[in-house]
Structure 1
Amino acid sequence: MALPECKTLLLERRDHALYITLNRPQARNAMNRAMVGELTAVLDAVEADLDVRALVLRGSDGHFCAGGDIKDMATAHAAAAEGDSEAFYRLNRSFGELITRVNAAPQVVVAALQGAVMGGGFGLACVSDVALADQSARFGLPETSLGIPPAQIAPFVASRIGLTQARRLALLGLRIGADEAARLGIVHEAVTDAAALSAGIDEVLAQLKRCAPVANRVTKSLLLATRTRELEALLDDAAAEFARAVTGPEGGEGTRAFVEKRPASWNQ
């Protein structure tokens, strides 16, 4: 697997996980067009790689992501003033395409959240499979206070925490801490500090090693499909996937490992 060269991201492979660090500390890791493009390129590079079983998203210098970069808005304003009627649409929609890709990534997406988790950063947290936050984390959807809607983020927030809570957060522009985020289900666990956050991520990744990579990919796909597919058709497909798994290499290895009372080959 060849990873792309990145200017706004730091990439580090550790065992079965790829750590992706948003790295624009001067802007609290606000997401600009370059970062959107680089994240998309990384997702493309690892999509079919079964050795990369987790993507750990985090931010540099004590912040996760402060949302979208306001400088991109200025660039879109200039383009619109010159007659480009689609400038703001393209800018906004490009992030929606990215967050959709992260949501559907075949790997387990783990979010390590600190400091600013705002706007687009909030959206990324809401499409993670596992999210942990330390007590420095502050979550919010400030868009309406700036006179704009959280257009690409809103569906994913509502899917994560339910419509009524999404309404409250978005329509009041509220900011909440890690404990409230855990209560609402934005994150799965709120921990005390950065050291506990790092230890928690290590525990998640250790647990993940017990799960077969292809089985995990199929399971994630089936879970996501529950929101869009008709039930009987989805169950038909699920049965076909089950049959393939039972007779495939992972199913055989899993059964042998259980009988022989040893870890499976993917848990090494």
Structure 2
Amino acid sequence: MEIATGQHEALALARRGMRLDVLFTRPERRNAMSAALNREMRALFAALADDRSVRLVVLRGAGGWFCSGGDMRERDQSLHDQAADPRVAARERNRLGGELFRAVNHAPQVVVAVVEGAAMGGGFGLACAADITLARPDAQFAMPEASIGVAPAQIAPYVVRRLGLSQARRLALTAARIDGREAASLGLAHHLCEDDAAIEARLAEIERAVRRCGPGALAGTKRVLNAASLLDDAAMIEFAAEVFADCVTTEEGIEGTRSFLEKRRPAWAGEA
């Protein structure tokens, strides 16, 4: 599936070589996660699943807001307007949110979330599913679900994996709001960026680092890392051996070994 750059209903996509910038374009709703945004994001990451020409995906929100979570107005309307059982409708909408977080988590590319303004609910989940999260010091992070009578059902696995069960419990069970500095201290955010210039500088640094890594190796590394907390030791040994063999016997793996032995940059890294 070809990735169409430009403005879509809820996203704007811009390609810069191996980097794809994904902008949420609902600033009037603080980039709340609508059905359209979910649908377009799932389609995008489905297209990226087999695309090794993209090695870095940057998620950011327009208007100084990352993502304020699920679109409450749309959700309420869908529960009352649909002829179907409202519980069935709620379950399906929530399940599709889970599919989105899973797609981001398992993307073969390096995914960076740039959090400005707020990352609430589903936005919090995206920040945890991303590989690297940048945050403004004054950004606000929260899981407010319990305070509005629901559970952070689909984001919970990614929050627990990022923060550990203890901190996930504290934040989820109190609907606590934390800023970017505390998010960094907890390991939710990896880098604090004071302004746009600092964000762009950090993204450029990440892009340079990612460029040194083979696209197939990035995909294989994410497969191993995602499996590490799910498989027992014996199964993990076998799975990791298969991934390693898949990598090292490809053209990319052979080129990587040769470039190391010949003390030169590998072909995928481009010119110095």
Smaller-chain TM-score bracket? over 0.9
Contact 1:114–1:134 (CA under 8 A) maintained in structure 2:
yes
Match of 2:2, as an amino acid? A
Q: How does 1:76-225 map to 2 (within 5 A)?
A: 76-79=78-81, 83-225=85-227
Contact 2:18–2:55 (8 Å) recurs in 1: yes
1:20 alignment partner, one of 10, 19, 22: 22
Q: Residue 220 of structure 2 contacts residue 244 of structure 2 at CA under 8 Å; is this kept in 1? A: no
Q: Which residue of 1 aligns with 2:2?
A: 2
Flag the 1:146–1:238 CA change in 2: closer, same or farther, 3 A. Answer: same
Alpha-carbon distance in structure 2 between the residues aligned to 1:240 and 1:84: 44
Q: CA deviation at 1:80?
A: 6.1
C-alpha distance in 2, partners of 1:82/1:232? 46
Offset at residue 84 of structure 1 (A): 4.0
1:250 to 249, 252, 263: 252
2:79 and 2:86 in contact (8 A); partners too: no
Task: Identify unmatched segments of 5+ residues in structure 1.
Answer: none
Q: Is contact 2:24-2:60 (8 Å) kept?
A: yes
| Paired residue type of 1:189 | H
- Cα displacement string for residues 11-51 of structure 1 (whole angstroms, at most 9, x for unaligned residues): 00111111111110100100100100000111112211110
Poorly superposed stretches of 4+, deviation over 3 Å: 79-85
State the match for 1:74 in structure 2: 76
Distance 1:248 1:166 in 2: 40
Q: Report how far residue 85 of structure 1 moved.
A: 3.6
The aligned amino acid for 1:183 is S
Taking the aligned partners of 1:56 and 1:102, their CA distance within structure 2 comes to 11
Letter in 1 for 2:97: F
The 1:244–1:32 alpha-carbon spacing in structure 2 relative to 1, beyond 3 Å, is closer
Return the TM-score normalized by structure 1: 0.95
Displacement after TM superposition at 1:250 (Å)? 1.7
Identity %: 45
Task: Give 1:82 deviation, angstroms.
Answer: 6.5
Which residue does 1:49 correspond to in 2? 51
Q: 1:235 to 1:130 in 2, by over 3 A?
A: same
Q: What is the SS of the residue equivalent to 1:7?
A: coil
Are positions 1:60 and 2:77 aligned together? Answer: no
Partner Cα separation in structure 2 for residue 83 and residue 53 of structure 1: 42
Which letter maps to 1:262? R
* Counterpart for residue 232 of structure 1: 234
In the aligned structure 1, how far is the partner of 2:114 from the partner of 2:90?
Answer: 30
Secondary structure, counterpart of 1:237 in structure 2: helix
Aligned residue identity for 1:55 = V
Residues of 1 paired with 2:25 and 2:134: CA distance? 19
Task: Report the aligned-residue RMSD.
Answer: 1.6
SS in 1 for 2:53: coil
Give distance in 2, aligned partners of 1:16 and 1:127.
Answer: 21
Q: Deviations over 1:195-218 (max 9, x none)?
A: 101211111111000111101101
SS of the equivalent of 1:61 reads helix
- Between 74-83 and 93-102, report the one with greater CA deviation: 74-83
Q: Across the two proteins, how many residue pairs are aligned to each other?
A: 268
Counterpart Cα distance in 2 of 1:82 and 1:213: 44
Specify whether residues 207 and 83 from structure 1 end up closer, same or farther in structure 2 by C-alpha distance, changes over 3 A only.
closer
Superposition deviation, residue 143 in structure 1: 1.3
